[in-house]
Amino acid sequence: MILTTKIDTSIIKKYDIRGIIGQNLKIEDGYKIGKKFAQFLGTNAKICVGYDGRVHSPQIEKKVIEGLCFSGANVIRVGLCSSPMLYFATQLTNADGGIMITASHNPAQYNGFKFYSNKIVFGEKEITTFMSIDAESSISNYTVLNCNIYTQYIEILRNADKGVGNKKKLKIAWNCSNGPTSSIIRHIQKILPNHEHIAINNTIDGSCNPDPIEQQNLNKLINTIREHQCDIGIALDGDGDRVCIVDSEGHTVPNDYLFMMFIKETLTKGDKVIVDIKSSMKISDLISRLGGIAITSATGHSIVKKIMIKENAKFAGELSGHFFFAEIGFDDGMYAAVKLINILQKYKNLGGIMSKLPKLYISPEIKIEVQEEKKFQIIDLLKKELEQKNIMFSSIDGIKIILKKGWFLLRASNTQNYITARCEGQSNEDFKKIKNLLDQYIERIKLLNKS
């Protein structure tokens, strides 16, 4: 029996649908979402469906497929997979669209949906549009086929390793975050046969926290690196589209540096690169110095992807660890990791690569916990206060104030109940001054959250 309760609109985010199971997101919502999505794409649309390792994902998948079938879709069941695998499946099968059941790096009680198409980039506008469809009329003709794409996807990863002369054998630690990349890592010797691999958190467990930068998960990877004297540690998030790197000393490599590593190795004159607003200003400086064109984007998968397509960009990156490669057409943590390993073989260690890059004076991303319903209101209030003081700022994504020798940023998270902050200076002295200024705004946020 299909329940007729309405879907809680609070689960519709900037670039996906995401909520807490049993609170604002119900298993049965999968049926209604599948039904609406199929009717949005049109009669007899071919739609791939995949799901991550969360406990409730298989139940939601069943409901999604029921909804798709109600609307006459031709369903391709990809099964348990990473988000990049689902994206790849839609390309491989020439599908009209895809639904990935996942809440990415959110805690275990969350779940949600990412939407993909080779023709449409699904952001808040597109999701809201198809979710408003009154999908009641039934179309009886539908098909459901199972599709195993592991062999083809592994070949994509293997081809990312272009090879360099005098290959250096590396010892690599992998943290799969108990997510779908656990099923891929068992094939790692086929992908990177010339290295030694040590995998942790490499069994599917939907009850675990799949955020690779959560301190407990990060500590486990660091301990593994130190115990086995690994050259590099690689952590992947709950659905495999995001990567975090740890060096041989157990230090987390800021994604600003990782971004610059990819740029330095791949950029050719005239290439366009999409840089999210949270990233270091020195990334854009490097792109310009190498003859490329840097284009600033708001943070968010669908936002970055839309601009990348519009500008025909070669590469894009986000501070969160999403890296988009034009040759595959989507962001993929495993693909980025293989690319980095290929680069690392040319150098003694990660430190050797970073020493050739601009020195950064930049804060980590600072999370200020606020009430969910207040996070955007607080940003709007701060904007009004700045306008009243005639202080100039960029509103591409939140508030970014560009100063003579640096910047600071305040923006509401699209996926969690935080306002995030970051700042950067040209020198350490500049950074300290800007950080003191940012701290004043952080205190203001805390006061507004209490009011």
DSSP 374: G
Element spanning 172, H or E: strand 171-175
Please confirm, yes or no, whether 104 is among the known catalytic residues. Answer: yes
**Rounded CA gap, 437 and 410, in Å?**
12
| Nearest-angstrom CA–CA distance, 38 and 52 | 21
d(CA 34, CA 17): 12
**Centroid of chain to Cα 314:** 18
Choosing from 71, 83, 104, 320, the catalytic residue is: 104
CB-count burial class (<10 Å; 0-12, 13-18, 19+) for 35: buried
CA-wise closest residue to 262 among 326, 189, 174, 190:
326
Alpha carbons 218 and 216: distance in angstroms, whole number: 5
Cα gap 179→188, rounded to integer Å: 15
Q: What are 267's two structure tokens?
A: 């950029």
Please give the full DSSP string across 9-29, using - where no structure is assigned. GGGB-SSSEEEEBTTTB-TTH
Contact assessment for residue 145 and residue 167, using Cβ atoms and an 8 Å cutoff: no
Q: How far apart are CA 99 and CA 89, in angstroms?
A: 11
Instruction: Show which residues are catalytic.
Output: 104
